[in-house]
Structure 1
Amino acid sequence: MVPNLVTALTGPINELEARVLESMPAIERWFRLEWMEHTPPFYTSVDLRNAGFKLAPVDTNLFPGSFNHLTPQMLPLAVQAAMAAIEKICPEAKNLLLIPERHTRSPEYLANLQCLIQVFNQAGLNVRLGSLDEDLKSPVPLALPDGGELVLEPLLRARGRLGLKDFDPCTILLNNDLSAGTPAILEDLHQQYLLPPLHAGWGVRRKSRHFRSYEEVAKKFAKLLGMDPWLINPMYGQCGQVDFGEATGLECVQSAADQLLAKVRRKYKEYGIAEKPFVVVKADNGTYGMGVMTVRDAKELDEISRHTRERMSVAKDGQHISEVIIQEGVPTHERVADAAAEPVVCMIDRYVVGGFYRVHGERGIDENLNAPGSDVVPLAFAESTQLPRPGAKPGASAPNRFYMYGVIGRLAMLAAAYELEATDPDAEIYE
């Protein structure tokens, strides 16, 4: 079910949309068979870039903090998806413990928690918030932007189970991406479901591993549609043992950027694309748009400013950046109020539950939009729900555009499922 977008969409479109729409039955069957073999992440958000000639994911978040950007019309979809997810994991579940990020004072983030609590309440669960902050000894009220409040409580662990005072949950939902590592209090839990699993945290996870899985998924999907996987897949390279602060290991980054730019130039020539290619260098295990830089020529890395080197040295929670992914840059030709914009698709279980545009009026089409000064424009939905319209002129139908976003978002989610299976420390084979 894909509601009808009423947001005006502009920007170039291509024959990719027509091919996806005409193949809709085959695509949905293909996804259905994949989900019979693989378990989707509990919830996911995917940042997309639409270049007109290419539509691809550039980041996949397994601890999304953006559910407050869903419009009220989207919430029934989220509730239904949450019900389906919980029924698969713990059908008798009554209590859900939600563990948020430590920076819970941000009004935007608190609104995200409020929305998650609302969704899971309506899915039939009692939800309470537990903090990983060891200094928290008693419940603390958190004021919400709408005048309400949430209560953050200290975690209690007894007999291998994690909970709160007078609250023993079946399921624990992490909305903390564990960038600083895995707290011992979350390890070796007894008969409780921890979602997402610990190896999904950024202390362990790597973007390069995710995009390796995405490349595999994109090739399968492209074969199904008889198309070039490059149209939906950003090429990438990876470098370890990098220290931007000390300017060591940058030869690897420069070499990888040079090779990747050459590959992109060849693809642009093949498709008659006149734009100047670029690559994006970013922390291999980072979030919040930290540790990100755009490179249009590998020689630029010879003369990085001190400010840029400092910015590329530290990720979230003060974590030192020593590994980077060098990713093919996908320009965004989506515009909202004449500002560069990129769509973000939100999912629970295997279902698309909505999305929004991330907009930045001071950033260019080849720059990271997840940066200070960015804004969010929710994808508004009409009152009547409408499915995609095969046969409509490409680009003319908002439901068609959103369906295409949803397909690529689900491909990234499927890649995350592959990734988590491949890196599961409890699996028989660990890559």
Structure 2
Amino acid sequence: MVPHLITALTGPINELEQRILESMPAIERWFRLEWMEHTPPFYASVDIRNAGFKLAPVDTNLFPGGWNNLTDEMLPLAVQAAMAAIEKICPEARNLLIIPENHSRNTFYLSSIAQLVRIFNMAGLNVRVGSISPDVKKTTTIELPHGDKVVLEPVVRSRHRLGVKHFDPCTILLNNDLSAGPPGILEELYEQYLLPPLHAGWSVRRKSRHFQSYEEVAKRFGKMLGIDPWLINPLFTPVRGVDFNEDASIEQLATAVDATLAKVRRKYKEYGINEKPFAVVKADNGTYGMGIMTVRDAKELAGLNRKARNKMAVIKDGQPVHDVIVQEGVLTQERVHQAVAEPVVYMMDRYVVGGFYRIHAERGTDENLNAPGASFVPLAFQHGAQLPQPGARPGASAPNRFYMYGVVARVALVAASYELEATDPDAEVYD
């Protein structure tokens, strides 16, 4: 199940919410059966867009930061989920080492690490933070806003184990998305649990593979619910071998944008939607909102200036972009403080533990909000009625709406489990 929180949107979202609420027992059974067969990622966050006529995930992060944006009221849920996750993997676990991103001076990010330390401490583990950054050569204490602090220690590698001085963990929690590839120090750790696995990092992971898995899962989920899977699934087209400095590549990309927009127009016509379709071009690997642009007409690509091309050509850690996905743009009808917003749902193991709104006062309803200038507003618990109300009319109950967000986020989580199984280098392959 999911926590029941206040959401910003109060209008109805057509029949989809009603169908999900009426099907709650079937939905929960469906998830239960999926998790009997598949292992959920250790943790994840899912960016969701609510267009009013459809509700879909647009990104799934398997190394989520932003834990500091969850309210104190949500911590018991996260602690409980952490206990369940650790118990499943290593019941006798005593020591946990967190490996953060290398940009170790970002206080917003380090506040998220401090929150993770707090969660796993309360789950009954000794927790230390070990940096693999070459810049961290000695134990460094970084003071954070609100009185928190993070102690970064250089990692120490023995033959098949990783730790920090005088601390030998049985479990290592990666909060580093390995955009530049896994460093050797993290490889061949045969005696410790490494979570998430190395192949969850962006050196292996591809958005096209994730959304292909999501499309398959959404079809089965939609069939079970008796709905058109498009209502929860953003259409997409992968484009390989893109060079943003070559006109021929830009033409190839424009063709894919045209084809995607044509499919969306047909769907809009089918449902009587009067909005103008748009597409989002994204680097196939990568994070931090880099390598993303909104395209409303394929002709816009021909006019891309040098700055825009360069911005799309390189992502985090200087990694060049060769492959992209053209994803159906999903509008957001959410508003917080008059600014455009989108919900981000946080999960640990198979449990939804909370979320927040990403808001951006300078962006439109058809633009990427994961950009400089974004701010975060925690979702607050709904007081009074704490459970979804299946009999309530659509849009009448905030807990109902967040239940729906949690359902779509968990469908993305199932897709991520399929994706990780497909890319596991140690998985047995049967003919």
TM over 0.5: yes
Going from structure 1 to structure 2, the CA distance change for 1:303 and 1:422 (only over 3 Å counts) comes to same
What residue is the counterpart of 2:191 in the other structure?
191
Any conservation in 2 of the 1:422–1:429 contact (CA below 8 Å)?
no
Amino acid at match of 2:399: P
What residue in structure 2 maps to residue 215 of structure 1?
Answer: 215
Matches within 5 A, 1:138-287: 138-247=138-247, 249-287=249-287
Give distance in 2, aligned partners of 1:169 and 1:384. Answer: 42
Counterpart-to-counterpart distance in 1, 2:430 and 2:418: 12
Further displaced range: 130-139 or 355-364: 130-139
| More displaced 10-residue stretch of structure 1: 357-366 or 141-150 | 141-150
Deviations 1:99-145 (A, max 9, x none): 00011211211110111000000000011011111242211111111
Alpha-carbon deviations, 1:209-262, whole Å to 9, x = none? 000000010001001011100000001001111121444522221111110100
Assess, with a 3 A threshold, how the Cα gap between structure 1 residues 423 and 288 changes in structure 2: closer, same or farther: same
User: Which of 374-383 and 240-249 deviates more?
Assistant: 240-249
The alpha carbon displacement at 1:430 in A equals: 9.5
1:5-404 matches, within 5 Å, as 5-247=5-247, 249-382=249-382, 386-404=386-404
Task: Give the Cα separation in 2 of the matches to 1:410 and 1:6.
Answer: 19
Distance of 1:392 and 1:27 partners within structure 2: 18
Structure 1 residues 8, 312: closer, same or farther in 2, change over 3 A?
closer
TM-score (norm 2): 0.98
How far did residue 383 of structure 1 move? 5.3
Residue 173 of structure 1: SS of its match in structure 2? strand
Cα distance in 1 for residues equivalent to 2:17 and 2:234: 18
Q: Is the 8 A contact 1:242 1:248 kept in 2?
A: no
CA distance 1:385–1:350, shift in 2 (3 Å):
farther
User: What secondary structure sits across from 1:355 in the alignment?
Assistant: strand
2:388 counterpart SS class: coil
Structure 2, unmatched stretches of 5+, are none
What's the CA shift string for 1:165-215, capped at 9, x where partnerless?
A: 111101000000000111011111021000000000001100000000000
**How far off is 1:363 after superposition?**
0.5
1:426 to 1:52, Cα distance in 2 relative to 1, 3 A:
same
Give 1:290 deviation, angstroms: 0.5
When the two chains are superposed, the root-mean-square deviation of aligned CA atoms in Å is 1.4
Distance 1:416 1:40, change over 3 A: same
Q: Displacement of 1:369 after TM fit?
A: 0.5
Task: Count how many residue pairs are aligned between Structure 1 and Structure 2.
Answer: 431
Q: Tell me, yes or no, if the aligned pair for 2:382 and 2:399 is still in contact at 8 Å.
A: no
Task: Give the 3-state SS of the residue equivalent to 2:47 in structure 1.
Answer: strand
Distance 2:140 2:378 in 1: 31
Shift of 1:87: 0.3
Which secondary structure does the structure 2 equivalent of 1:151 belong to? strand
More moved, 126-135 vs 237-246? 237-246
Once the two structures are superposed, residues 313-338 of structure 1 have per-residue CA deviations (whole angstroms, 9 ceiling, x without a partner) of 11011111111010000000111122
Q: Which moved more, 1:193-202 or 1:302-311?
A: 302-311
Distance of 1:87 and 1:311 partners within structure 2: 43
The residue type paired with residue 415 of structure 1 is A
The runs of 5 or more residues in structure 1 that have no matched partner are none
Q: Is the 8 A contact 1:11 1:333 kept in 2?
A: no
1:163/1:363 Cα in 2 relative to 1: closer, same or farther (>3 Å)?
same
Q: Is the 8 A contact 2:382 2:398 kept in 1?
A: no
Aligned partners of 1:44 and 1:61 also within 8 Å: yes
Distance in 1 between residues matched to 2:315 and 2:248, nearest whole Å: 17
For residue 326 of structure 1, give the secondary structure of its aligned residue in structure 2. strand
Counterpart amino acid of residue 34 in structure 2: E
User: In 2 relative to 1, CA 286–247 (structure 1 residues): closer, same or farther, beyond 3 Å?
Assistant: farther
Judge conservation of contact 1:242–1:250 (CA < 8 Å) in 2: yes
Residues 384-418 of structure 1 show CA distances to partners (whole Å, capped at 9, x for unaligned) of 67111101111111100000000000000110000
- Contact 2:10/2:398, CA 8 A, preserved across alignment: no
Deviation sequence 1:291-348 (CA, Å, 0-9, x none):
1011111111111122211110110111111110100000001111221110100000
Q: Distance in 2 between matches of 1:20 and 1:258?
A: 33
Structure 2: distance between partners of 1:190 and 1:145: 38
TM-score with structure 1 setting the length: 0.98
Give the CA deviation at 1:56: 0.3
| Contact 2:359 2:376 (C-alpha < 8 Å) held by counterparts | yes
TM-aligned CA distance change 1:149 to 1:385, over 3 Å: farther
2:388 & 2:32 partners in 1: Cα distance? Answer: 18
2: CA distance between counterparts of 1:375 and 1:407?
25
Contact 1:424 1:430 in 2 (8 A): no
* % identical equivalent positions: 71
